[in-house]
Structure 1
Amino acid sequence: MEEILKQILSGMNEMKNDIAEIGKNIKTVEHRLDRLEKMDSIEHRVEVNQIDLTDIKEILEKMDSFQTDVLKDFFQIFKGNSFNKVLQEELNLINQRLDAQLTKIAKNEEAILMIEGKNNKVS
């Protein structure tokens, strides 16, 4: 009877060791599956990003071609001498107005300095 109990105990110990080893193997498999899920997720994101990048590239190419066409028309107009004269006149007018404003600012600064000088003499 004792031998049978010893055999049963040794068999149970072997089963316990086997179950522990199976548990380790299951954890290893779960870890690998988690990594595969992460890889699938990363691959999916890469595929989605590639699609987004392709769409963005197409949009940029369309914008570039549109801007090139519009700029060609603009520069053809800009090449005309009459347009250049009008622009030159407008720039001269703007410069004159800026000069007038700077002169007014300088006069006001001078007046402020004179008033401050009078106030300092009175004090």
Structure 2
Amino acid sequence: LKCFKKSPITEEEGYSLLFYQERIREYTNSSFSSVNCSFQGIRRVEQKPEQYNGNCDTLWNFTEKIQIKEKVTHIEEEGILVTCDDQGQNGTNIYKNVHVFIQPIRVQHKRAKFKVCYGAAYISE
């Protein structure tokens, strides 16, 4: 799904983040070396079923920032926030995007842990 008129600097493919450094030119006139791109994992704050409320989708934390240095980066998070800042323009943010990665093994572990803690009654198959 294309959300902007410019080509995205990052895309997801399977469990990988694809980094298109050449597309940075669409966002700034600065050199590639002055633009720092990084990602942070987005982790939902877990709630117990009995404490569930309508705010559950707004409770999350970020992991530490990781610099994007490769064209292809394996991602172990379920969601990430990518940002690119132009140091040539006083650190101005020039790009921000969110990517989602379905991690089947992590989902299986979460479901198993949930069943142990709360029983299968809360999980619909």
More helix by share: 1
Common topology (TM > 0.5): no
TM value normalised by structure 2: 0.17
